[in-house]
Structure 1
Protein backbone atom coordinates (compact mmCIF):
# COMPACT_ATOMS: atom_id res chain seq x y z
CA UNK A 1 0.00 0.00 0.00
CA UNK A 2 1.62 3.23 -1.20
CA UNK A 3 0.44 5.65 1.49
CA UNK A 4 2.28 8.61 -0.01
CA UNK A 5 0.42 8.10 -3.27
CA UNK A 6 -2.89 7.87 -1.40
CA UNK A 7 -2.07 11.12 0.43
CA UNK A 8 -2.29 12.87 -2.92
CA UNK A 9 -6.07 12.71 -2.41
CA UNK A 10 -5.83 15.01 0.63
CA UNK A 11 -7.53 18.26 -0.31
CA UNK A 12 -9.72 16.65 -2.97
CA UNK A 13 -13.10 18.41 -3.07
CA UNK A 14 -16.54 17.28 -4.27
CA UNK A 15 -19.71 19.36 -4.38
CA UNK A 16 -23.36 18.34 -4.61
CA UNK A 17 -26.81 19.76 -4.17
CA UNK A 18 -30.11 18.23 -3.12
CA UNK A 19 -33.60 19.31 -2.17
CA UNK A 20 -34.57 18.53 1.41
CA UNK A 21 -37.78 16.72 0.55
CA UNK A 22 -40.40 15.40 2.94
CA UNK A 23 -40.61 11.78 1.79
CA UNK A 24 -37.29 10.56 3.28
CA UNK A 25 -38.38 11.93 6.68
CA UNK A 26 -41.67 10.05 6.46
CA UNK A 27 -39.93 6.88 5.26
CA UNK A 28 -37.33 6.86 8.05
CA UNK A 29 -40.05 7.59 10.59
CA UNK A 30 -41.91 4.49 9.41
CA UNK A 31 -38.68 2.46 9.46
CA UNK A 32 -38.12 3.46 13.10
CA UNK A 33 -41.77 2.57 13.85
CA UNK A 34 -42.90 6.17 14.39
CA UNK A 35 -46.13 7.69 13.21
CA UNK A 36 -45.53 9.38 9.86
CA UNK A 37 -45.14 13.14 10.48
CA UNK A 38 -47.11 15.74 8.56
CA UNK A 39 -44.07 17.49 7.11
CA UNK A 40 -44.49 21.02 5.81
CA UNK A 41 -42.16 23.32 3.94
CA UNK A 42 -39.94 25.08 6.45
CA UNK A 43 -40.03 22.31 9.08
CA UNK A 44 -36.61 21.48 10.54
CA UNK A 45 -35.31 17.95 10.03
CA UNK A 46 -33.97 16.11 13.07
CA UNK A 47 -30.26 15.97 13.91
CA UNK A 48 -28.43 13.38 11.72
CA UNK A 49 -31.38 13.01 9.37
CA UNK A 50 -29.31 14.88 6.79
CA UNK A 51 -27.82 11.42 6.11
CA UNK A 52 -30.98 10.76 4.09
CA UNK A 53 -29.87 13.28 1.47
CA UNK A 54 -26.92 13.79 -0.90
CA UNK A 55 -26.79 10.05 -1.49
CA UNK A 56 -23.96 8.55 -3.59
CA UNK A 57 -25.76 7.64 -6.81
CA UNK A 58 -23.54 5.42 -8.95
CA UNK A 59 -24.47 3.02 -11.72
CA UNK A 60 -24.75 -0.70 -11.04
CA UNK A 61 -21.85 -1.29 -13.45
CA UNK A 62 -19.74 0.96 -11.20
CA UNK A 63 -20.35 -1.18 -8.14
CA UNK A 64 -17.58 -3.19 -6.52
CA UNK A 65 -17.91 -6.79 -5.33
CA UNK A 66 -18.81 -5.60 -1.82
CA UNK A 67 -21.69 -3.43 -3.06
CA UNK A 68 -19.89 -0.12 -2.54
CA UNK A 69 -19.03 2.13 -5.46
CA UNK A 70 -15.80 1.26 -7.28
CA UNK A 71 -12.58 2.62 -5.77
CA UNK A 72 -11.03 5.87 -6.93
CA UNK A 73 -12.79 9.08 -7.83
CA UNK A 74 -13.36 11.30 -4.79
CA UNK A 75 -12.21 8.75 -2.20
CA UNK A 76 -8.65 7.45 -2.59
CA UNK A 77 -8.25 3.96 -4.14
CA UNK A 78 -7.19 2.20 -0.95
CA UNK A 79 -6.20 -1.38 -1.94
CA UNK A 80 -7.77 -3.02 1.13
CA UNK A 81 -11.05 -4.84 0.51
CA UNK A 82 -13.10 -4.12 3.65
CA UNK A 83 -14.46 -0.64 4.27
CA UNK A 84 -16.52 0.69 7.16
CA UNK A 85 -17.65 3.96 8.67
CA UNK A 86 -16.10 3.82 12.14
CA UNK A 87 -17.21 7.09 13.72
CA UNK A 88 -17.49 10.81 13.33
CA UNK A 89 -18.02 14.26 14.78
CA UNK A 90 -20.88 16.61 13.88
CA UNK A 91 -21.47 20.29 14.64
CA UNK A 92 -25.03 21.53 14.20
CA UNK A 93 -25.08 25.26 13.45
CA UNK A 94 -28.71 25.51 12.38
CA UNK A 95 -31.22 22.99 11.03
CA UNK A 96 -31.78 22.07 7.43
CA UNK A 97 -35.44 22.52 6.56
CA UNK A 98 -37.99 20.84 4.33
CA UNK A 99 -37.96 22.62 1.00
CA UNK A 100 -34.36 23.87 1.24
CA UNK A 101 -32.23 23.59 -1.86
CA UNK A 102 -29.15 22.50 0.07
CA UNK A 103 -25.50 22.28 -0.89
CA UNK A 104 -22.77 19.96 0.32
CA UNK A 105 -19.02 20.48 0.03
CA UNK A 106 -16.85 17.44 0.87
CA UNK A 107 -13.09 17.52 1.40
CA UNK A 108 -10.54 14.76 2.08
CA UNK A 109 -8.78 15.92 5.25
CA UNK A 110 -6.36 13.09 5.94
CA UNK A 111 -5.14 9.67 4.80
CA UNK A 112 -3.02 7.46 7.06
CA UNK A 113 -2.14 3.81 7.62
CA UNK A 114 -0.91 1.50 10.35
CA UNK A 115 -0.71 -2.18 11.26
CA UNK A 116 -3.04 -3.59 13.87
CA UNK A 117 -3.97 -6.92 15.41
CA UNK A 118 -5.97 -7.80 12.30
CA UNK A 119 -3.34 -6.63 9.80
CA UNK A 120 -2.95 -3.49 7.72
CA UNK A 121 -5.38 -0.62 8.24
CA UNK A 122 -5.96 2.61 6.34
CA UNK A 123 -7.85 5.62 7.66
CA UNK A 124 -9.51 8.33 5.60
CA UNK A 125 -11.04 11.41 7.27
CA UNK A 126 -13.62 13.30 5.23
CA UNK A 127 -15.15 16.67 6.06
CA UNK A 128 -18.65 17.54 4.87
CA UNK A 129 -20.19 21.00 5.07
CA UNK A 130 -23.92 21.36 4.46
CA UNK A 131 -25.51 24.68 3.53
CA UNK A 132 -29.21 25.44 3.64
CA UNK A 133 -31.19 28.48 2.60
CA UNK A 134 -29.87 30.45 5.58
CA UNK A 135 -26.20 29.45 5.24
CA UNK A 136 -23.95 26.88 6.90
CA UNK A 137 -26.10 24.32 8.71
CA UNK A 138 -23.86 21.33 9.56
CA UNK A 139 -20.14 20.60 9.69
CA UNK A 140 -19.21 16.95 9.90
CA UNK A 141 -16.11 14.76 9.92
CA UNK A 142 -16.39 11.07 9.05
CA UNK A 143 -13.76 8.43 9.85
CA UNK A 144 -13.61 5.69 7.23
CA UNK A 145 -11.51 2.58 7.96
CA UNK A 146 -10.21 0.10 5.38
CA UNK A 147 -9.08 -3.36 6.47
CA UNK A 148 -7.56 -6.51 5.03
CA UNK A 149 -9.71 -9.44 3.93
CA UNK A 150 -11.36 -11.27 6.80
CA UNK A 151 -9.61 -14.27 8.32
CA UNK A 152 -12.20 -17.03 8.88
CA UNK A 153 -10.21 -18.31 11.86
CA UNK A 154 -9.86 -14.95 13.59
CA UNK A 155 -11.69 -14.44 16.87
CA UNK A 156 -13.68 -11.38 17.82
CA UNK A 157 -11.78 -8.85 19.93
CA UNK A 158 -12.44 -8.96 23.65
CA UNK A 159 -15.67 -7.26 24.64
CA UNK A 160 -15.51 -3.91 26.45
CA UNK A 161 -18.11 -3.70 29.24
CA UNK A 162 -20.72 -1.01 28.61
CA UNK A 163 -21.26 1.73 31.19
CA UNK A 164 -24.01 1.37 33.76
CA UNK A 165 -26.23 3.81 35.58
CA UNK A 166 -28.19 5.00 32.53
CA UNK A 167 -30.92 7.57 33.05
CA UNK A 168 -32.83 6.40 29.95
CA UNK A 169 -32.84 3.13 28.07
CA UNK A 170 -34.73 1.95 25.01
CA UNK A 171 -34.69 -1.61 23.73
CA UNK A 172 -34.47 -2.06 19.96
CA UNK A 173 -34.93 -5.38 18.17
CA UNK A 174 -32.95 -5.75 14.95
CA UNK A 175 -34.09 -7.76 11.94
CA UNK A 176 -33.31 -8.00 8.21
CA UNK A 177 -36.26 -5.77 7.26
CA UNK A 178 -34.94 -2.90 9.41
CA UNK A 179 -31.50 -3.23 7.81
CA UNK A 180 -32.87 -3.51 4.28
CA UNK A 181 -35.06 -0.43 4.65
CA UNK A 182 -32.24 1.63 6.16
CA UNK A 183 -29.88 0.53 3.37
CA UNK A 184 -32.48 1.59 0.80
CA UNK A 185 -33.12 4.96 2.46
CA UNK A 186 -29.40 5.78 2.51
CA UNK A 187 -28.63 4.10 -0.85
CA UNK A 188 -26.05 1.98 0.95
CA UNK A 189 -25.17 -1.00 -1.23
CA UNK A 190 -22.75 -2.63 1.23
CA UNK A 191 -23.75 -6.29 1.12
CA UNK A 192 -22.93 -7.06 4.76
CA UNK A 193 -26.25 -5.40 5.68
CA UNK A 194 -28.64 -7.44 3.52
CA UNK A 195 -26.80 -10.34 1.80
CA UNK A 196 -26.30 -13.11 4.38
CA UNK A 197 -24.28 -15.46 2.11
CA UNK A 198 -21.87 -12.61 1.33
CA UNK A 199 -21.66 -11.40 4.95
CA UNK A 200 -20.84 -14.87 6.26
CA UNK A 201 -19.08 -16.46 3.28
CA UNK A 202 -16.84 -13.55 2.21
CA UNK A 203 -16.45 -11.22 5.20
CA UNK A 204 -16.92 -14.05 7.74
CA UNK A 205 -19.42 -12.29 9.97
CA UNK A 206 -21.81 -14.59 11.86
CA UNK A 207 -24.87 -12.69 10.64
CA UNK A 208 -26.00 -9.51 8.90
CA UNK A 209 -24.27 -6.43 10.32
CA UNK A 210 -26.32 -3.55 11.77
CA UNK A 211 -25.28 -0.19 10.26
CA UNK A 212 -23.15 2.09 12.40
CA UNK A 213 -25.03 5.22 11.21
CA UNK A 214 -28.34 3.60 12.15
CA UNK A 215 -27.05 3.03 15.68
CA UNK A 216 -25.78 6.62 15.85
CA UNK A 217 -29.22 7.87 14.80
CA UNK A 218 -30.86 5.73 17.48
CA UNK A 219 -28.67 7.40 20.10
CA UNK A 220 -29.72 10.92 19.11
CA UNK A 221 -33.32 9.78 18.81
CA UNK A 222 -33.07 8.87 22.50
CA UNK A 223 -32.15 12.49 23.25
CA UNK A 224 -35.05 13.72 21.11
CA UNK A 225 -37.44 11.44 23.00
CA UNK A 226 -36.43 12.39 26.53
CA UNK A 227 -35.29 15.99 25.94
CA UNK A 228 -37.70 17.15 23.21
CA UNK A 229 -36.99 20.84 23.78
CA UNK A 230 -33.19 20.53 23.80
CA UNK A 231 -31.01 21.74 20.94
CA UNK A 232 -28.07 19.50 20.07
CA UNK A 233 -24.90 21.52 19.31
CA UNK A 234 -22.38 18.73 18.78
CA UNK A 235 -22.42 14.97 18.51
CA UNK A 236 -19.58 12.47 18.29
CA UNK A 237 -19.72 8.69 18.06
CA UNK A 238 -17.40 5.71 17.73
CA UNK A 239 -18.19 2.11 16.88
CA UNK A 240 -16.66 -0.30 19.41
CA UNK A 241 -18.04 -3.74 18.56
CA UNK A 242 -20.10 -5.02 15.60
CA UNK A 243 -23.80 -5.66 16.11
CA UNK A 244 -25.51 -8.52 14.28
CA UNK A 245 -29.09 -9.47 13.54
CA UNK A 246 -31.07 -10.55 15.57
CA UNK A 247 -29.26 -9.00 18.56
CA UNK A 248 -31.32 -6.73 20.78
CA UNK A 249 -29.82 -3.32 21.40
CA UNK A 250 -30.16 -1.32 24.58
CA UNK A 251 -29.84 2.34 23.64
CA UNK A 252 -28.74 4.20 26.78
CA UNK A 253 -28.08 7.74 27.91
CA UNK A 254 -27.59 9.96 30.92
CA UNK A 255 -27.22 13.70 31.39
CA UNK A 256 -24.16 15.35 32.84
CA UNK A 257 -24.47 16.90 36.29
CA UNK A 258 -24.89 20.39 34.79
CA UNK A 259 -27.39 19.20 32.18
CA UNK A 260 -25.33 20.61 29.29
CA UNK A 261 -24.20 17.29 27.82
CA UNK A 262 -25.41 13.73 27.40
CA UNK A 263 -23.33 10.56 27.55
CA UNK A 264 -24.73 7.94 25.17
CA UNK A 265 -23.97 4.30 24.46
CA UNK A 266 -25.40 1.10 23.00
CA UNK A 267 -25.18 -2.09 25.04
CA UNK A 268 -25.55 -5.64 23.76
CA UNK A 269 -27.56 -8.24 25.64
CA UNK A 270 -24.36 -9.69 27.08
CA UNK A 271 -23.32 -6.30 28.49
CA UNK A 272 -20.72 -5.51 25.80
CA UNK A 273 -20.33 -1.96 24.53
CA UNK A 274 -21.34 -1.62 20.87
CA UNK A 275 -21.08 2.15 20.36
CA UNK A 276 -20.14 5.11 22.53
CA UNK A 277 -21.17 8.70 21.87
CA UNK A 278 -21.67 12.10 23.45
CA UNK A 279 -23.82 15.12 22.69
CA UNK A 280 -23.42 18.73 23.76
CA UNK A 281 -26.64 20.68 24.28
CA UNK A 282 -27.25 24.39 23.71
Structure 2
Protein backbone atom coordinates (compact mmCIF):
# COMPACT_ATOMS: atom_id res chain seq x y z
CA UNK A 1 0.00 0.00 0.00
CA UNK A 2 1.36 3.41 -1.00
CA UNK A 3 0.67 6.27 1.43
CA UNK A 4 -0.09 9.47 -0.48
CA UNK A 5 0.86 12.96 0.71
CA UNK A 6 -2.82 13.82 1.07
CA UNK A 7 -3.25 10.91 3.49
CA UNK A 8 -0.28 12.06 5.58
CA UNK A 9 -1.70 15.57 5.82
CA UNK A 10 -5.04 14.14 6.94
CA UNK A 11 -3.41 11.98 9.61
CA UNK A 12 -1.41 14.95 10.87
CA UNK A 13 -4.69 16.71 11.70
CA UNK A 14 -4.67 14.51 14.82
CA UNK A 15 -1.51 16.23 16.16
CA UNK A 16 -2.37 18.05 19.37
CA UNK A 17 -5.46 15.96 20.03
CA UNK A 18 -5.77 15.15 23.72
CA UNK A 19 -7.88 13.00 26.03
CA UNK A 20 -8.01 12.41 29.79
CA UNK A 21 -9.04 9.22 31.59
CA UNK A 22 -9.61 8.59 35.30
CA UNK A 23 -8.78 5.35 37.11
CA UNK A 24 -7.83 3.98 40.53
CA UNK A 25 -4.78 1.89 41.42
CA UNK A 26 -6.57 -1.19 42.75
CA UNK A 27 -4.96 -4.23 44.34
CA UNK A 28 -6.40 -7.05 42.20
CA UNK A 29 -4.36 -6.35 39.03
CA UNK A 30 -1.20 -6.05 41.15
CA UNK A 31 -1.85 -9.48 42.70
CA UNK A 32 -2.57 -10.91 39.25
CA UNK A 33 0.60 -9.59 37.62
CA UNK A 34 2.70 -10.80 40.54
CA UNK A 35 1.28 -14.28 39.96
CA UNK A 36 1.79 -14.02 36.19
CA UNK A 37 5.45 -13.09 36.66
CA UNK A 38 5.81 -15.88 39.27
CA UNK A 39 6.85 -13.40 41.95
CA UNK A 40 6.46 -14.26 45.68
CA UNK A 41 5.25 -10.74 46.49
CA UNK A 42 3.25 -10.03 49.66
CA UNK A 43 -0.42 -9.26 49.21
CA UNK A 44 -0.81 -5.62 48.15
CA UNK A 45 -2.72 -3.33 50.48
CA UNK A 46 -3.55 0.37 50.57
CA UNK A 47 -0.29 2.26 50.14
CA UNK A 48 1.66 -0.60 48.51
CA UNK A 49 4.17 0.78 45.99
CA UNK A 50 3.20 0.19 42.36
CA UNK A 51 6.29 -1.19 40.59
CA UNK A 52 7.55 0.62 37.54
CA UNK A 53 5.66 -0.16 34.31
CA UNK A 54 2.80 -1.73 36.24
CA UNK A 55 0.74 1.38 35.51
CA UNK A 56 0.07 -0.39 32.20
CA UNK A 57 -2.49 -2.42 34.16
CA UNK A 58 -4.70 0.68 34.32
CA UNK A 59 -6.36 3.07 31.84
CA UNK A 60 -7.23 0.05 29.70
CA UNK A 61 -9.13 0.48 26.40
CA UNK A 62 -12.73 -0.72 26.66
CA UNK A 63 -13.94 -0.75 23.06
CA UNK A 64 -17.33 -2.40 22.60
CA UNK A 65 -17.28 -5.78 20.86
CA UNK A 66 -18.88 -4.25 17.77
CA UNK A 67 -15.96 -1.79 17.57
CA UNK A 68 -13.26 -4.49 17.33
CA UNK A 69 -11.44 -4.97 14.03
CA UNK A 70 -10.45 -8.29 12.41
CA UNK A 71 -7.05 -8.32 14.15
CA UNK A 72 -8.64 -7.99 17.60
CA UNK A 73 -7.62 -4.33 18.01
CA UNK A 74 -10.26 -1.60 18.20
CA UNK A 75 -11.10 -0.30 14.72
CA UNK A 76 -9.01 2.61 13.49
CA UNK A 77 -10.04 6.16 14.30
CA UNK A 78 -11.09 7.91 17.48
CA UNK A 79 -8.20 9.24 19.56
CA UNK A 80 -5.47 7.68 17.40
CA UNK A 81 -5.35 8.67 13.72
CA UNK A 82 -6.89 6.13 11.28
CA UNK A 83 -3.64 4.96 9.71
CA UNK A 84 -4.50 2.76 6.68
CA UNK A 85 -1.73 0.21 7.25
CA UNK A 86 -2.58 -3.25 8.62
CA UNK A 87 0.18 -3.82 11.18
CA UNK A 88 0.48 -1.80 14.38
CA UNK A 89 3.30 -2.27 16.88
CA UNK A 90 4.29 -0.72 20.19
CA UNK A 91 7.82 0.11 19.08
CA UNK A 92 9.20 1.56 22.31
CA UNK A 93 9.01 4.43 24.72
CA UNK A 94 10.64 6.71 27.25
CA UNK A 95 9.40 7.08 30.83
CA UNK A 96 10.30 9.25 33.80
CA UNK A 97 9.03 8.74 37.35
CA UNK A 98 8.57 11.91 39.37
CA UNK A 99 6.53 10.66 42.34
CA UNK A 100 5.60 7.11 43.38
CA UNK A 101 2.22 5.58 42.60
CA UNK A 102 0.66 3.38 45.26
CA UNK A 103 -2.36 1.12 45.64
CA UNK A 104 -5.36 3.28 46.48
CA UNK A 105 -4.31 6.27 44.39
CA UNK A 106 -6.94 8.02 42.30
CA UNK A 107 -5.09 8.66 39.05
CA UNK A 108 -5.63 10.55 35.84
CA UNK A 109 -3.88 10.07 32.51
CA UNK A 110 -3.79 12.90 29.99
CA UNK A 111 -2.66 11.75 26.55
CA UNK A 112 -1.65 14.00 23.67
CA UNK A 113 -0.62 13.12 20.13
CA UNK A 114 2.73 14.81 19.66
CA UNK A 115 3.59 13.89 16.09
CA UNK A 116 2.63 11.80 13.06
CA UNK A 117 5.52 11.15 10.70
CA UNK A 118 5.97 9.16 7.51
CA UNK A 119 9.03 7.27 6.35
CA UNK A 120 9.67 4.96 3.42
CA UNK A 121 11.48 1.88 4.66
CA UNK A 122 13.06 -1.06 2.89
CA UNK A 123 9.77 -2.95 3.10
CA UNK A 124 7.48 -0.03 2.30
CA UNK A 125 5.77 2.86 4.04
CA UNK A 126 5.97 3.37 7.79
CA UNK A 127 3.85 5.73 9.89
CA UNK A 128 5.15 6.71 13.34
CA UNK A 129 2.76 8.14 15.92
CA UNK A 130 4.21 9.64 19.11
CA UNK A 131 1.84 9.89 22.07
CA UNK A 132 2.78 11.62 25.34
CA UNK A 133 1.07 10.53 28.55
CA UNK A 134 1.10 12.37 31.85
CA UNK A 135 -0.18 10.39 34.84
CA UNK A 136 -1.13 12.29 37.98
CA UNK A 137 -2.25 11.45 41.49
CA UNK A 138 -3.29 13.75 44.34
CA UNK A 139 0.31 15.04 44.62
CA UNK A 140 0.50 16.09 40.96
CA UNK A 141 2.25 14.57 37.95
CA UNK A 142 3.80 11.26 39.01
CA UNK A 143 4.91 9.82 35.67
CA UNK A 144 5.48 10.98 32.12
CA UNK A 145 5.67 8.60 29.17
CA UNK A 146 6.39 8.96 25.49
CA UNK A 147 4.87 6.07 23.59
CA UNK A 148 6.10 5.19 20.08
CA UNK A 149 3.60 3.45 17.80
CA UNK A 150 4.62 2.28 14.33
CA UNK A 151 2.28 1.20 11.53
CA UNK A 152 3.49 -0.77 8.53
CA UNK A 153 2.20 -2.76 5.60
CA UNK A 154 2.13 -6.54 5.57
CA UNK A 155 5.34 -7.90 3.99
CA UNK A 156 5.29 -9.11 0.40
CA UNK A 157 6.18 -12.76 -0.27
CA UNK A 158 9.55 -11.79 -1.76
CA UNK A 159 10.55 -9.40 1.05
CA UNK A 160 13.79 -10.40 2.73
CA UNK A 161 13.90 -10.28 6.54
CA UNK A 162 15.91 -7.52 8.17
CA UNK A 163 19.38 -8.70 9.19
CA UNK A 164 19.37 -9.49 12.94
CA UNK A 165 21.65 -7.79 15.48
CA UNK A 166 23.70 -9.92 17.89
CA UNK A 167 22.84 -9.34 21.55
CA UNK A 168 25.55 -8.14 23.97
CA UNK A 169 27.57 -10.85 25.70
CA UNK A 170 28.60 -9.01 28.88
CA UNK A 171 25.52 -9.63 31.03
CA UNK A 172 25.90 -9.41 34.81
CA UNK A 173 22.41 -10.80 35.42
CA UNK A 174 20.37 -13.05 33.12
CA UNK A 175 17.05 -14.84 33.39
CA UNK A 176 15.50 -17.33 30.94
CA UNK A 177 11.81 -16.95 30.13
CA UNK A 178 9.61 -19.72 28.73
CA UNK A 179 6.84 -17.77 26.97
CA UNK A 180 4.07 -20.36 26.78
CA UNK A 181 0.59 -19.47 25.55
CA UNK A 182 -0.77 -19.38 29.11
CA UNK A 183 1.65 -16.59 30.04
CA UNK A 184 0.68 -14.64 26.92
CA UNK A 185 -3.02 -15.19 27.51
CA UNK A 186 -2.81 -14.04 31.13
CA UNK A 187 -0.94 -10.85 30.17
CA UNK A 188 -3.43 -10.16 27.37
CA UNK A 189 -6.28 -10.60 29.84
CA UNK A 190 -4.62 -8.37 32.46
CA UNK A 191 -4.16 -5.55 29.95
CA UNK A 192 -7.47 -6.18 28.12
CA UNK A 193 -5.46 -6.61 24.92
CA UNK A 194 -7.51 -8.33 22.25
CA UNK A 195 -4.78 -8.31 19.59
CA UNK A 196 -4.97 -11.82 18.14
CA UNK A 197 -1.25 -12.12 17.44
CA UNK A 198 -0.73 -12.85 21.15
CA UNK A 199 -3.20 -15.75 21.62
CA UNK A 200 -4.72 -16.91 18.30
CA UNK A 201 -2.14 -19.27 16.80
CA UNK A 202 -4.11 -19.97 13.64
CA UNK A 203 -4.57 -16.25 12.96
CA UNK A 204 -0.97 -15.26 13.64
CA UNK A 205 0.49 -18.04 11.48
CA UNK A 206 -2.03 -18.19 8.63
CA UNK A 207 -3.09 -14.53 8.33
CA UNK A 208 -0.09 -12.56 9.62
CA UNK A 209 2.48 -15.14 8.50
CA UNK A 210 4.49 -15.36 11.72
CA UNK A 211 5.93 -18.67 13.00
CA UNK A 212 4.26 -18.46 16.42
CA UNK A 213 2.46 -16.28 18.92
CA UNK A 214 4.18 -12.94 19.46
CA UNK A 215 5.28 -12.03 22.98
CA UNK A 216 3.92 -8.61 23.95
CA UNK A 217 6.50 -5.82 23.81
CA UNK A 218 5.21 -4.31 27.09
CA UNK A 219 5.51 -7.73 28.75
CA UNK A 220 9.16 -8.01 27.68
CA UNK A 221 9.82 -4.47 28.94
CA UNK A 222 8.18 -5.38 32.25
CA UNK A 223 10.38 -8.48 32.50
CA UNK A 224 13.46 -6.34 31.86
CA UNK A 225 12.55 -3.99 34.70
CA UNK A 226 11.65 -6.95 36.91
CA UNK A 227 15.15 -8.39 36.35
CA UNK A 228 16.63 -5.11 37.61
CA UNK A 229 14.31 -5.19 40.63
CA UNK A 230 15.36 -8.77 41.45
CA UNK A 231 19.05 -8.14 40.86
CA UNK A 232 19.28 -4.87 42.81
CA UNK A 233 16.86 -5.26 45.76
CA UNK A 234 15.27 -2.04 46.90
CA UNK A 235 16.02 -0.22 43.66
CA UNK A 236 13.53 2.18 42.11
CA UNK A 237 13.67 3.69 38.65
CA UNK A 238 14.04 7.32 37.71
CA UNK A 239 13.98 6.78 33.95
CA UNK A 240 13.52 3.93 31.53
CA UNK A 241 13.88 3.87 27.75
CA UNK A 242 13.27 0.85 25.53
CA UNK A 243 13.06 -0.03 21.86
CA UNK A 244 11.72 -3.18 20.23
CA UNK A 245 14.23 -4.54 17.72
CA UNK A 246 12.89 -7.91 16.58
CA UNK A 247 9.73 -9.98 17.32
CA UNK A 248 9.89 -12.64 20.03
CA UNK A 249 7.82 -15.79 19.54
CA UNK A 250 6.47 -18.31 22.02
CA UNK A 251 7.98 -21.30 20.20
CA UNK A 252 11.37 -20.96 21.95
CA UNK A 253 12.68 -19.65 25.28
CA UNK A 254 14.21 -16.18 25.38
CA UNK A 255 16.30 -14.38 27.95
CA UNK A 256 16.44 -10.99 29.62
CA UNK A 257 19.79 -9.58 30.72
CA UNK A 258 21.25 -6.53 32.43
CA UNK A 259 24.56 -5.02 33.44
CA UNK A 260 25.62 -1.70 35.01
CA UNK A 261 26.96 0.69 32.36
CA UNK A 262 30.01 1.73 34.37
CA UNK A 263 31.72 3.28 31.36
CA UNK A 264 28.85 5.75 31.02
CA UNK A 265 28.00 6.10 34.73
CA UNK A 266 30.62 5.02 37.33
CA UNK A 267 27.96 5.30 40.07
CA UNK A 268 26.35 2.10 38.77
CA UNK A 269 22.91 3.71 38.55
CA UNK A 270 22.67 3.41 34.77
CA UNK A 271 21.82 -0.13 33.73
CA UNK A 272 21.95 -1.53 30.20
CA UNK A 273 19.14 -4.02 29.75
CA UNK A 274 18.22 -6.20 26.79
CA UNK A 275 16.30 -9.23 25.63
CA UNK A 276 17.53 -11.84 23.19
CA UNK A 277 16.04 -14.85 21.47
CA UNK A 278 17.23 -18.47 21.64
CA UNK A 279 19.70 -17.83 18.81
CA UNK A 280 21.34 -14.88 20.55
CA UNK A 281 19.74 -12.16 18.41
CA UNK A 282 18.78 -8.89 20.08
CA UNK A 283 15.00 -8.43 20.39
CA UNK A 284 14.73 -5.44 22.73
CA UNK A 285 17.25 -2.97 24.07
CA UNK A 286 16.73 -0.63 26.99
CA UNK A 287 18.37 1.64 29.54
CA UNK A 288 17.25 1.95 33.15
CA UNK A 289 18.43 4.81 35.39
CA UNK A 290 18.02 4.22 39.13
CA UNK A 291 17.27 6.79 41.79
TM-score, normalization by structure 1: 0.98
Q: How far off is 1:132 after superposition? A: 1.3
Gaps of 5+ in 1: none
Please report the RMSD computed on the Cα atoms of aligned residues, expressed in angstroms: 1.0
**Alignment match, 1:274:** 283
Q: How far off is 1:197 after superposition? A: 1.2
Listed as ranges, the matches of 1:198-209 within 5 Å are 198-209=203-214
Q: How far off is 1:256 after superposition? A: 2.2
SS of corresponding position for 2:212: coil
Q: How far off is 1:278 after superposition? A: 0.2
Q: How far off is 1:153 after superposition? A: 4.3
Gaps of 5+ in 2: none
Listed as ranges, the matches of 1:96-111 within 5 Å are 96-111=101-116
Instruction: Specify which of 233, 236, 258 is matched with residue 228 of structure 1.
Output: 233
**CA–CA distance in 2 between the matches of 1:153 and 1:196?**
23
**Alignment match, 1:33:** 38
**Alignment match, 2:260:** 255
Instruction: Specify which of 14, 17, 31 is matched with residue 19 of structure 2.
Output: 14
Q: Does 1:148 align with 2:153?
A: yes
Q: Which consecutive aligned stretches of 4+ in structure 1 deviate over 4 angstroms post-superposition?
A: none
SS of corresponding position for 1:78: coil
SS of corresponding position for 1:210: coil
Q: Does 1:192 align with 2:201?
A: no
Q: 1:93·1:137 contact (CA, 8 Å) conserved in 2?
A: yes
**Alignment match, 2:182:** 177
**CA–CA distance in 1 between the matches of 2:90 and 2:149?**
5
Which digits, 9 at most, give the CA deviation of each residue in 1:90-145, with x for residues without a partner?
A: 00111111011100000000001111111111000000110112211110001000
Which digits, 9 at most, give the CA deviation of each residue in 1:158-186, with x for residues without a partner?
A: 11000111110011111111111100100
**CA–CA distance in 1 between the matches of 2:271 and 2:210?**
32
**CA–CA distance in 2 between the matches of 1:267 and 1:254?**
14
**Alignment match, 1:117:** 122
Listed as ranges, the matches of 1:20-169 within 5 Å are 20-169=25-174
Q: How far off is 1:79 after superposition? A: 0.6
Q: 1:236·1:278 contact (CA, 8 Å) conserved in 2?
A: yes
SS of corresponding position for 1:69: coil
Q: 1:162·1:273 contact (CA, 8 Å) conserved in 2?
A: yes
Q: 1:85·1:144 contact (CA, 8 Å) conserved in 2?
A: yes
Q: How far off is 1:149 after superposition? A: 2.1
SS of corresponding position for 2:52: coil
Q: 1:88·1:236 contact (CA, 8 Å) conserved in 2?
A: yes
